[in-house]
Structure 1
Amino acid sequence: MPMEPWYCRVCGLDYDESPWGPDGHSPDYTICACCGAEFGYQDYTPDSAREYRAQWLAAGAAWFYPNMKPPNWHLNAQLQQVPAFYR
């Protein structure tokens, strides 16, 4: 059975598993490789995710771990993956 992707609530980066745990409510406080959001802190509420996203975009949307940036990365396509509740 294939895993369902999970998307960062701030930038839409896809992950193989949720840093919010199987219940969707228990963050592991790791850092998003793309936007640098700490899961459970900057994405805790829709408003906090929107605020952090605005700051990240205003600062140039740089990758937190630049060596993990895919060669054909497209910011707008990734942002479309942000869960609707957090847009």
Structure 2
Amino acid sequence: MTHTDKRTEVNNFCSICGYPLGNYNPWGGDGKTPTYDICPCCGVEWGNEDYTSESRTEYRNKWLADGAKWFEPQEKPVNWNLEEQLKNIDHETDG
């Protein structure tokens, strides 16, 4: 999985935390087949804890309430900004 910190023409984001994923799609090339990989930021398992709008909201709220801790802290960018990253979430499909 290749990650990126900048928006590009082809950029996917974690539906929980907005982490930029570049051209990696956690729901597969068809957008319907989850990879079951883990987000290095929020730790969601794509295809498990983000399966419905309700589960995405529930997981996000719990992650935020727990301090928005990084699942893989070594991946956290030096200039990371939670508020900016959360802007990457597509709230239209997230209820």
What TM-score range do you get, normalising by the shorter chain? over 0.9
In the alignment, is residue 78 of structure 1 matched against residue 85 of structure 2?
yes
SS of residue matched to 2:40: coil
TM-score, length-normalised on structure 1?
0.93
Q: What is the alpha-carbon root mean square deviation over aligned residues?
A: 1.3
Identity, % of aligned positions: 45
Unaligned stretches of 5+ in structure 1? Answer: none
In the alignment, is residue 6 of structure 1 matched against residue 12 of structure 2?
yes
Aligned to 2:27: 20
| Higher relative contact order (CA closer than 8 Å, sequence separation 6+) | 1
Question: 1:29-64, CA deviations, whole angstroms, 9 ceiling, x for partnerless residues?
Answer: 000000000000111111100000000000000000
CA distance, structure 2, for counterparts of residue 45 and residue 55 of structure 1: 15
Unaligned stretches of 5+ in structure 2? Answer: 1-7
CA distance, structure 2, for counterparts of residue 72 and residue 64 of structure 1: 17
Pairs aligned (count): 86
